[in-house]
Amino acid sequence: MPWPARALAKLPIPDLVGRAAPRVAIKSIGWGKDAAVLARTMPHSRTIFILRHPCGQVDSVMRGNRHRRFDLGTPGTDMPFDEVAAVRFAAEHGIGAAGFQALPAAAKYAWSWRAFNEPAYAALSAQSNVHIVLYEALCAQPDTLVRQIMMFTGLSWTQQTKNFVASSSGHQGKAGYYAIVRDAAAAATQWRTTMPAADQDAVRSVVAGSPLARFWPDLMNPT
């Protein structure tokens, strides 16, 4: 900018609108225990942690990996997650490295689900400024639960927000892998018909021993 504009930029200009201070929002699919550090050190922040049924998440990630939607988490492996962390976590629960590599792919993904979600839940659930919600419940009752989330975060519920939640969660028709508009209720349960039974059983056999299995009754009694 020319010098007159630079000089003018130094002058204080009153805020005639009086808008509220901006909010910073961070969305992450891989920020687990570290999110608890933020919640603890920034008590005025608000964290929403979404837990998804392991079969639903594994089915989604396996499908995305087949379609090359992800970068591989570890060089030399075909898994799009931190395989080292999954192997280490499985070893802590009696599954050695060789045993882990002998597992079907769905079971490996399930161990990755446990390795991420169990420590994250343990760290986050102890924080009063963290709200934990089940993905399936959010998809089934988007209006009700999003209202609760907005209230928890101190954000206002406007007609524009209500309209967006309704249109984005009730979309009919084809939706892309990363689309933000979809039939939410169908998306939450489609794994029950699209995921092979053997893969479902592999996931359940791993997650049945997880303390988080209590959130989904079908995981408590695996076949």
Question: For each of the chain's 223 residues, which pLDDT tens digit applies?
Answer: 667 777 777 777 666 666 677 788 999 888 877 899 999 999 999 999 999 999 999 999 888 878 676 666 565 566 677 888 999 999 999 999 999 999 999 999 999 999 999 999 999 999 999 999 999 999 999 999 999 999 999 999 999 999 999 999 988 877 777 778 888 999 899 999 999 999 999 999 999 999 999 999 988 765 5
First-to-last alpha carbon distance for the chain, in angstroms, is 69
Q: At what angle do helices 159-169 and 142-153 cross, to 10 degrees?
A: 140
Paired tokens of 186: 């169908």
User: How many Cβ atoms are within 10 Å of 158's Cβ, its own excluded?
Assistant: 10
Q: What is the CATH number of domain 47-219?
A: 3.40.50
CA distances to 59, 144, 167, 209 from 170, in Å: 22, 14, 5, 35
Helix H or strand E segment including 51:
strand 47-51
In the block, tokens 């979309």 appear at 171
Domain edges within the chain: 47-219
**Residue 126 amino acid letter:** A
Give pTM, 2 decimals: 0.84
SS3 49: strand
- How confident is the model at residue 205, as a pLDDT? 94
Q: At what angle do helices 83-92 and 105-124 cross, to 10 degrees?
A: 80
Question: Which of 3, 49, 5 is CA-nearest to residue 29?
Answer: 49
